[in-house]
Amino acid sequence: MIAIIDYGVGNLESVYKALESLGFESKITRNIDDINKSDAIILPGVGAFKDAIENLRNMNLVNPLMKNIKKGKPLLGICLGMQLLYEESLEDGKWKGLGFFKGSVVKFKGDVKIPHMGWNNLNVLKKDNITKYINENDYVYFVHSYYAKGEYNDLIATTDYKVDVPAIVRKGNVIGMQFHPEKSGKVGLSLLKAFGEMIK
Amino acid sequence: MITKRIIPCLDVRNGRVVKGTKFKDIKDVGDPVELAKYYNDQGADELVFYDITASYEDRDIFLDVVKDTAKEVFIPFSVGGGIKSIEDFTKILRAGADKVSINSQAVKNPDLIKKAASKFGSQCVVLSIDAKKVKDSYNVFINGGRKDTGLDVFKWAKKGVNLGAGEIVINSINTDGVKKGYDSDLINKLSNIVNVPIIASGGAGEAKDFLDVFKNAKADAALAASVFHFKEIKIPDLKKYLNDNGINMRRND
């Protein structure tokens, strides 16, 4: 079972439905037993960083998540869920994140429309199992105003929005996707399929 | 590079997609979920559903359409029509839509934009504006284009974005249904004023209208209904034409 973490933000239903269409069993939950029993975890997210991280803390979900990551369980952070895995965010202030990935979440600058909203193509930099079903320049759907400035070693794929935006990052069993795989048509479903297949 | 978006618009009444000219001569187009799947397969980048029913019973049918679509179509879609409150937002987003578009109610109660943006995020809040040229200015019209508010379109758009709207749909009443092209003058002016994505609506008749609105009016997305519903323009052909003319399109799906 894949636990989709329900921490009071975001559109969880579409992640659930996408997994269902692929034949993966999943559960929208904030129950710690469910999280411990799950085979993989998805941290979704739409909304503001501050509210999200506060909700995770107030629901006592931070320790269970980090424990399960340490055990080697696959975890996928989507959009804000990916950003939460970084050390800090500069979204309307300065907020401490989960610190799994090194780096900060910063706002787009310069002559671009904000939010970065729409279909943009991936530049796959590194061969990885998570991208095994997609092509190198496939399009995925992005909606975000902030992006993660992290370490080069964690990058699997970037996208170009005047700056190189980390689109897929990975460190061991933990993956982040800045776009919405559950809204990226066949390409997105292929990425979720590859994630589901990480379950041992 | 980010692509321009092609967005078919589905007007839903009594659980069916319909199309008419200015609420007259309503024709049945098809089943919304089937049509959504068809457009997804054709390479539509996004979908818009408008609830054009009024009664409460019909609203429930409409919500079921949204739910059923979300089960089978995995591209973004927004929902509009008769949205009045945060509760309406919640219902629609829970049913699986990604964005909610508001029009008349935003004019009557601008605070709704602010409240919705802070609760669900700006990316969920689409401000839809019906614009009509009155003498030398563009005014905001509400209630299905029947009432002139006297508001200046550009001032209202700017205010909407400041309140938290993450995207603007600009529908020109002058060009709507005429099929002689989008109102490029209006859309171009708006593109220069606000820094959120702009969706052009009203007037698509042929492929070159899309090229014009992307190239000359700097729209980020173009919305159309009847040219797609009645298969006058096929999305794969349109995207090929636009790509050949230098407009970046998603064509690999």
Residue A71 C-alpha, separation from nearest chain B C-alpha, in angstroms:
32
In a domain, B188, yes or no: yes
* Structural domain count of chain B: 1
Using 50, 70 and 90 to split pLDDT, how confident is the model at B54? Answer: low
In a domain, B252, yes or no: no
Using 50, 70 and 90 to split pLDDT, how confident is the model at B110? Answer: very high
A133 in B contact zone (CB under 8 Å) = no
In a domain, B95, yes or no: yes
Residue B253 confidence (pLDDT) above 60 = no
* Known catalytic residue at B176: no
Q: Is the distance from CB of B45 to CB of B84 less than 8 angstroms?
A: no
* Structural domain count of chain A: 1
Mean pLDDT of chain B: 92
* pLDDT (0 to 100) of residue B42: 95
On chain B, the residues whose CB falls within 8 A of the CB of A135 are 252
Claim: this prediction has a pTM higher than 0.90: yes
> Are A117 and B45 within 8 A, CB to CB?
no
> Are B45 and A119 within 8 A, CB to CB?
yes
Q: Which domain holds residue B129?
A: 5-244
CATH of the domain at B79: 3.20.20.70
* Rounded CA Rg of chain A: 15
> Are A183 and B74 within 8 A, CB to CB?
yes
Residue B102 C-alpha, separation from nearest chain A C-alpha, in angstroms:
18
d(CA B221, CA B201): 9
Over residues A153-194, the pLDDT tens digits come to 999 999 999 999 999 999 999 999 999 999 999 999 999 999
Q: Which domain holds residue A191?
A: 2-196
Using 50, 70 and 90 to split pLDDT, how confident is the model at B61? Answer: confident
In a domain, B102, yes or no: yes
Amino acid identity of residue B173, one-letter, is I
CATH of the domain at A174: 3.40.50.880
* pLDDT (0 to 100) of residue B252: 60
Residue B173 confidence (pLDDT) above 50 = yes
On chain A, the residues whose CB falls within 8 A of the CB of B70 are 13-14, 17
In a domain, B74, yes or no: yes
* Known catalytic residue at A91: no
- Residue-by-residue DSSP string for chain A: -EEEE-SS-S-HHHHHHHHHHTT--EEEE--HHHHHH-SEEEE---S-HHHHHHHHHHTT-HHHHHHHHHTT--EEEETHHHHTTEEEE-TTS-EE---SEEEEEEE--SSS-SSEEEEEE-EE-S--GGGTTS-TT-EEEEEESEEEEE-GGGEEEEEEESEEEEEEEEETTEEEESS-GGGSHHHHHHHHHHHHTT--
